[in-house]
Structure 1
Amino acid sequence: MQVLIVDDSRAMRMILKKMMGELGHKDIDEAEHGQAALDHLEEKMPDVALVDWNMPVMGGEEFISTIRGRRDCDQIKVLVVTSESNPRVVYQALKAGADEYAMKPLTTEVIGDKLGMLGLA
């Protein structure tokens, strides 16, 4: 499975990459914001994108809305991974096209469960 981690925090990208590795996923790419992730999609299409909500340049909502408007991105599952606990943000993420939502701090088990809910475990 090809994974794209989109988060402005280098430390968080490293943590998520380690968790995905523990779940057996090795084909993992990273982007530090939504625009960098869009640029990445021109080269390689992931099966799942783990996307932070609050990022500079292009945040999670704009990134998700953009890829949901592209036919070539239909198959990408989007898991929003954020510290935002406001129910309004959860609603906005799902409305933008996210498939699932997970709150930081995370465990490998939570990520595995969310991937399972998306049919990707």
Structure 2
Amino acid sequence: MFTEPNDLTSWLLAHVDEVSPIGDLARDVQVDDEWPEPTARWPESLQLYQEHMEDSDASDDALEVLEDAWSLFQDRWHRTKRRRQARDLEDIRTYCDLEDQGVCLYLDDRVR
């Protein structure tokens, strides 16, 4: 089963074989030994990656591709998260069909 990448770097690396601006960025990231890894102190953000690329004298075009990649990744991540939440809610509703309705209503309200 394929798991959606949950960080930009993993998402980009999934596109290294693409012949596209995002594929170009992914290949650059793949060989960039100083590409930032998010930490508790420096959580993942567009700014984290922009600052790294600016410090590396990236072109305006490359920074624009980064912004596009970030937007696509965020859209995909949020859609996947919503699907996962809907699946979890459906699992709870199925469970509730088998259990006491009072418990079901409590669980159902908590998930929303």
Larger proportion of helix? 2
Larger proportion of strand? 1
Please give the TM-score of this superposition, normalised by the length of structure 1: 0.29
Higher relative contact order (CA closer than 8 Å, sequence separation 6+): 1
Please give the TM-score of this superposition, normalised by the length of structure 2: 0.31
Larger Rg: 2
